[in-house]
Amino acid sequence: MEIIELPIEALKEAVWNVNQVDEAMMQRLRVSIGKYGLVQNLVVRQIANDYEVLSGNHRLRLLHELLIKKVPCVVVDVDDAHARLLAQALNHVHGDDDLGLRAELIREVMQVLPEEEVLAVLPDTMDGLKGMANLGQETMTGYLQNWEKARAARLRNLLFKLTSDQLQTVEAAVAQILPQARLQQGINPNARGTALYLICKSFVDKENKHDH
Amino acid sequence: MTGAGGVMGSTIPSQGSRAGSNPSTALHDLHLVPISRVDAKTLIVRNHYAHSLPGGTKMSFGTVLNNRLLGVMTFGVGPFYGYKLVNHATPDDVVTLTRLWLSDELPKNCESKVLGIALRSLKRDTSLKFVLAYSDPAVGHLGIIYQATNWHYTGLSSAVPLYDIGDGTLHHSRSLAQQLGSHSIRYLTLQGINAKAVPQSAKHRYIYFLDDSWQSRLAVPVLPYPKKEREINGNN
């Protein structure tokens, strides 16, 4: 394996590269290279007087942006099929983080570095990062007690299946009683739910009165 | 491993291959932590034989050993009428163990330890009355973990069909009802949708009472645990 510094003009993106990144991910890569430099060599193969990039096509674009003149590259001697296969292997053969260990690592990092700095480099969302940092920090008892409280407070859903015609009638009835429902909501923050309750209550009261 | 609700664990045959240099120490250090549904889904999709997390997940727990997250257990709504197995129960009284995956890196016998921790927590910290779990005989699962942890076996559940509406995916009745408003074949046919019910295999159904005083409300008979065929036929 040969590692050499090549002039950037000699490096060409592989036209067959299937790996795509959006601008948000490019920005993270930009920040990472700006912060740490080019810490991974590009992998290339020679074609005539140029070099085709098998791994590092996105980094190459950023190196152009940064006006870098010489790029450290690993040069491999492979045919077309193996060039494509190696590129796929470099992109896809990797391990998966153990989430417990990652959580511990993220916590360590976030104790030292501000969230913004971490988010500028990693492809996580703020919520995702905080969730990861909190993994394993909550006790079963605390979690289940909160779950119980949330369950008790939960407003209940009733799902009705209606045809369009039936729905029109129900909506008209709900709309008619809605002003009254808004005044009588009590602890239910949902006025339409209260409206439906008032319609049903009125029906039940009438039926009971009729029975007596 | 073991699981429920179409659930089953992913690798019953690999139980014997579990590692762990000092199993008793490892089991002592094993504990459960609440994890997000997103993290649970990541691990289930990656590792569980079903490669999917059913809708209606209510709680997700991770199995931790030496700071590593080596297992996942999820509880959810399960079958719509599951609560009717117990007289005077409501849907709020029950959860269904919907997925259980434990890494082969964990020592042997940790399934019962992990399940025991979860059930004790549910018993202590919630007002839930019972838990349901299902094992799919179609993939060779009998529910050995539930037998080992003293659940009641209530026979094979009536199999709920999945629905084929010609889009290349088999839909659960609940998701179809959510998507189209109904899973009635008659209704869908009237709407010009070529819907077919695809029969599914019945599953072994187990029930575990978190509140012992509810045991007498069980509305179905408790049956002997199902065994492997060779156990029934003797040791040959």
Confidence of residue B10 (pLDDT cuts 50, 70, 90): very low
The model's pTM: 0.77
Q: Assess whether pLDDT exceeds 70 at residue B23.
A: no
Q: Is B190 on the interface with A (CB under 8 A)?
A: no
Q: Assess whether pLDDT exceeds 90 at residue B29.
A: no
* Average confidence (pLDDT) over B62-75: 95
Q: How far, in whole angstroms, is CA B159 from its chain's centroid?
A: 15
Question: In percent, how much of chain B has pLDDT > 70?
Answer: 86
Confidence of residue B6 (pLDDT cuts 50, 70, 90): very low
Of B62, B64, B127, the CB nearest to A148: B127
Question: In percent, how much of chain A has pLDDT > 70?
Answer: 100
Q: Assess whether pLDDT exceeds 80 at residue B135.
A: yes
Contact between chains at B39 and A136 (C-beta distance less than 8 A): no
> Considering chain A, what is the average pLDDT of its residues?
94
Residue A39 near residue A25 (C-beta atoms within 8 A): no
Q: Is A179 on the interface with B (CB under 8 A)?
A: no
Q: Is A161 on the interface with B (CB under 8 A)?
A: yes
> What is the C-alpha separation between B51 and B71, in angstroms, rounded?
14
Q: Assess whether pLDDT exceeds 60 at residue B235.
A: no
> What is the C-alpha separation between B124 and A151, in angstroms, rounded?
16
Question: In percent, how much of chain A has pLDDT > 90?
Answer: 85
The pLDDT assigned to B234 comes to 54
Confidence of residue B229 (pLDDT cuts 50, 70, 90): confident
Highest mean pLDDT among A187-196, B132-141, B215-224: B215-224
> What is the C-alpha separation between A195 and B139, in angstroms, rounded?
50
Tens of pLDDT, residue by residue over A60-100, are 999 999 999 999 999 999 999 999 999 999 999 999 999 99
Highest mean pLDDT among A158-162, A169-173, B13-17: A169-173
Confidence of residue A29 (pLDDT cuts 50, 70, 90): very high
Gap from B31 CA to chain A (nearest CA, Å) = 10
Give the bridge partners for B130, in sequence order: B94, B209
**Helix, coil or strand: residue B35:** coil
Contact between chains at A135 and B36 (C-beta distance less than 8 A): yes
The pLDDT assigned to B12 comes to 33
Of B39, B121, B127, the CB nearest to A99: B39
Q: Assess whether pLDDT exceeds 90 at residue B221.
A: yes
* Average confidence (pLDDT) over A176-199: 91
DSSP B218: B
* Average confidence (pLDDT) over B204-226: 97
The least confident of A183-197, B117-131, B220-234 is B220-234
Gap from B18 CA to chain A (nearest CA, Å) = 18
Interface-testing mutation among A140, A159, A161, with chain B (most B C-beta atoms within 10 A):
A140
The pLDDT assigned to B232 comes to 57
Long-range Cβ contact pairs of B209-216 (< 8 A, separation 24 or more): B209/B129, B209/B130, B209/B152, B210/B119, B210/B122, B210/B123, B210/B126, B210/B128, B210/B129, B210/B130, B210/B131, B211/B123, B211/B129, B211/B130, B214/B86, B214/B89, B214/B93, B214/B129, B214/B130
DSSP count for chain B of H helices, then E strands: 7, 10
The least confident of A29-43, B91-105, B222-236 is B222-236
> What is the C-alpha separation between B54 and B57, in angstroms, rounded?
7
Contact between chains at A131 and B36 (C-beta distance less than 8 A): yes
Confidence of residue B53 (pLDDT cuts 50, 70, 90): confident
Q: Is B22 on the interface with A (CB under 8 A)?
A: no
Contact between chains at A99 and B46 (C-beta distance less than 8 A): no
- Looking at per-residue pLDDT, the higher value among B2 and A86 belongs to A86
Q: Assess whether pLDDT exceeds 80 at residue B233.
A: no
- Looking at per-residue pLDDT, the higher value among B183 and B62 belongs to B62
HEC letters along chain A: CEEEEEEHHHEEECCCCCCCCCHHHHHHHHHHHHHHCCCCCEEEEEECCEEEEEECHHHHHHHHHCCCCEEEEEECCCCHHHHHHHHHHHHHCCCCCCHHHHHHHHHHHHHHCCHHHHHHHCCCCHHHHHHHHHCCCCCHHHHHHHHHHHHHHCCCCCCCCCCHHHHHHHHHHHHHHHHHHHHCCCCCCCHHHHHHHHHHHHHHHHHHHHHC
Tens of pLDDT, residue by residue over A135-162, are 999 999 999 999 999 998 888 888 888 9
Gap from A48 CA to chain B (nearest CA, Å) = 43
Query: Phi-psi category of A110—alpha, beta or left, where left has phi over 0 and alpha has psi -120 to 50?
Result: alpha
Q: Is A101 on the interface with B (CB under 8 A)?
A: yes
> What is the C-alpha separation between B113 and B92, in angstroms, rounded?
26
* Average confidence (pLDDT) over B30-55: 91
Gap from A163 CA to chain B (nearest CA, Å) = 10
Gap from B178 CA to chain A (nearest CA, Å) = 10
Question: Tokens representing A28?
Answer: 């993270």
The pLDDT assigned to B231 comes to 61
Tens of pLDDT, residue by residue over B138-185, are 888 899 999 999 999 999 988 778 888 888 788 888 778 878 878 888
